């Protein structure tokens, strides 16, 4: 069995799209509707001769929807079982007035603190939507941030290389 890697983050940040990009196939269901990934989807790939088991999860957020709530509970179980956690966020949040890079950095520090013993990779997705100045703003303010586009595939091979460093 491969090294378990959980892909977590808020709904619609592109977790399922990233899983598809990593697997190079249309395995997970991608949707614009928040909360579509109710259950978890897992698949194995070999990177540099090492087997990884990727686990696509329901988005983590507070919810009153019981079915979505169950998916989130399962997400936390998957995080506990995983060796590496990929925390994904939508890089275009940098456009929102209240979400400047300093705020995003604070948010990421909170996430990092929630996974003290976990091996965590923080990934900013949808960089295909960003201006070069916005990319610069993110990378200069947030350390150890990996930027990619799950949709275009840009940066996905580099993420695979990063994962190999966790072995």
Cβ 87 vs Cβ 121: under 8 Å: yes
Q: Compute the distance between CA of residue 123 and CA of residue 59 in angstroms, rounded to an integer.
A: 15
**Residue written as token pair 């909170």:** 110
- Selected binder of ligand GDP within 60, 72, 93, 150 (CB under 6 A): 150
Of residues 29 through 58, those in contact with Mg ion by CB under 5 A are 37
In whole angstroms, how close is the CB of 80 to ligand GDP at the nearest point? 20
Judged by CB under 6 A, the residue of 5, 30, 60, 79 near ligand GDP is: 30
Ligand-binding annotation for 13, yes or no, is yes
Nearest distance, CB of residue 157 and ligand GDP, angstroms? 14
Q: How far is the first Cα of the chain from the last one, in angstroms, to the nearest whole number? A: 14
User: Considering only CA atoms, which of 147, 64, 144, 155 is closest in space to residue 112?
Assistant: 144
β-pairing, 50-56 vs 41-47, is antiparallel
Contact stretch for ligand GDP (CB under 6 A) within 38-46, 62-70, 97-105, 146-154: 146-154
Answer yes or no: is 63 a known binding residue: no
- Token pair of 42, please? 């897992």
Give the burial class of 49: count Cβ atoms within 10 A of its Cβ; 0-12 exposed, 13-18 middle, 19 or more buried: exposed
CB of 76 to ligand GDP, least distance (A): 16
> Closest separation between CB of residue 80 and Mg ion, Å?
20
The DSSP secondary-structure symbol of 116 reads T
Strand order through the sheet with 119-125: 41-47, 50-56, 3-8, 84-90, 119-125, 145-147
Does 16 bind Mg ion (CB under 5 A)? Our answer is yes
Interface residues for ligand GDP in 31-60 (CB under 6 A)? 31-32, 37, 59
- Residues contributing to the site for ligand GDP (CB under 6 A): 11-17, 30-32, 37, 59, 125-126, 128-129, 149-151
Residues within the annotated binding site for Mg(2+)? Answer: 16, 37
Known binding positions? 12-17, 31-37, 56-59
């Amino acid at each position: 069995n491969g090294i378990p890697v959980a892909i977590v983050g808020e709904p619609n940040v592109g977790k399922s799209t990233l899983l598809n990009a990593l697997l190079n196939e249309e395995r997970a269901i991608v949707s614009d509707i928040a909360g579509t990934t109710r259950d978890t989807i897992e698949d194995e790939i070999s990177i540099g001769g090492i087997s990884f088991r990727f686990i696509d999860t329901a988005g983590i957020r507070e919810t009153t929807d019981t079915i979505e709530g169950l998916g989130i509970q399962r997400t936390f179980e998957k995080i506990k079982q995983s060796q590496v956690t990929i925390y994904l966020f939508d890089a275009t949040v940098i456009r929102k007035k209240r979400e400047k890079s300093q705020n995003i950095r604070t948010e990421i520090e909170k996430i990092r603190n929630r996974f003290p013993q976990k091996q965590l990779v923080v990934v900013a997705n949808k960089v295909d939507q960003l201006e070069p100045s916005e990319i610069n703003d993110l990378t200069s303010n947030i350390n150890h941030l990996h930027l990619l586009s799950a949709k275009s595939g840009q940066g996905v091979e580099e993420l695979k290389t990063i994962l190999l460093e966790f072995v």
